[in-house]
Structure 1
Amino acid sequence: MKKIQENIGMVMIFTLVTAVQEKLNEIVDQIKWRKEEEKLLKEKEAEEVEKAIFHGTPLSIENFLSWKAKFDAELAEIRRKRQKEEEQAGKVKLTGKQLFETDHNLDTSDIQFLEEGNNVEVDESLFQDMDDLELDDDDDPDYNPDLGSEED
């Protein structure tokens, strides 16, 4: 309005259009600036959230023991569910530890086997023709050429 009053009686179209363009450019610049500010603010907030996620909870003995108790309870629940499912399926498969805990005969079974004299017979004739096997001494990590061979 100010421009209109200043230019009364003159050719004003160019002057008015130029004034409107300048005002629109200012408005557009303000909108862009606000959007940039909002974008920077959102990025900063997202960065703060990201930092908070990576920061986590400080470790202390109390925190660890609390977590450990929850973890052990969850693990025991999972094991109970799995065992219950296996029992329902009819195929209970015990671990080695569970076998030894339930059947105490397993503790002494190896000793009884040895005491009974069930010795394994070895056919030594199978080892007579070792020269025909073409074994390279270089492939044997225990081979020491300074000691010589056992055949000497």
Structure 2
Amino acid sequence: MRTFGILEAHADCLTFLSDEPISFTITVTSDEGENDEIAEATLKFTYVEKYPDEPPEWEIFSRENLEDADEEEILTLLQQQAEENLGMVMIFTLVTAVQEKLNEMVDQIKNRREEEKMRQEREAEEAEKVTFQGTVVNIENFLAWKARFELEVAEIRQKRQKDEEQAGKLKLTGKQLFETDHNLDTSDIQFLEEAGNNVEVDESLFQDIEDLDLDEDDPDFDPLDMGSDED
């Protein structure tokens, strides 16, 4: 087959899939990068009836260390190279162009990894700053904090005032209670009205009251000293 002469350098990576139409895969690997990175793409080619006057069909069969954007770049490169080489056997040219592109991508892989590492380090530093510095104060969050603080202070003052008022009521004297609670003014009358005829009086306490010799006109008269004369 004519493909053998063209792809001798890649024969160990070549796998034939069919003879009619001719279809095969070839694995293209980049040179190793500084840290032994490689990029790899396995390309599938299928000859069309009018090849090489028309380009072969192709697709990326598999890939390694390549992103979707890298794959799109390779497909675009294949299209450009095929158009430039119409009428000539072009598989070797296409494969060589892809390998050169993979070599470039290895360097891009290294750069991407370094950029990713730097990004992660920056994010870690920012997170550490936030941990030690706290939230940056601006007008909006300061006013929000001030409103919450004033509300909390007002609630504390109201509770303290309520507690003090409650404690003050518990410490009032009988006179203070009488002065502040006007319901006590009529409590005795109300009690008597409610008791009615149920109030019992011991009449024997008053039987001898008329026999007492009470001189109420005497300026030295003192009911409390009534018993002292008997002594």
**TM bucket, shorter chain:** 0.3 to 0.5
Question: Relative CO higher for 1 or 2, CA cutoff 8 Å, sep ≥ 6?
Answer: 2
More helix by share: 1
Normalising by structure 1, what TM-score? 0.34
The structure that is strand-richer by fraction is 2
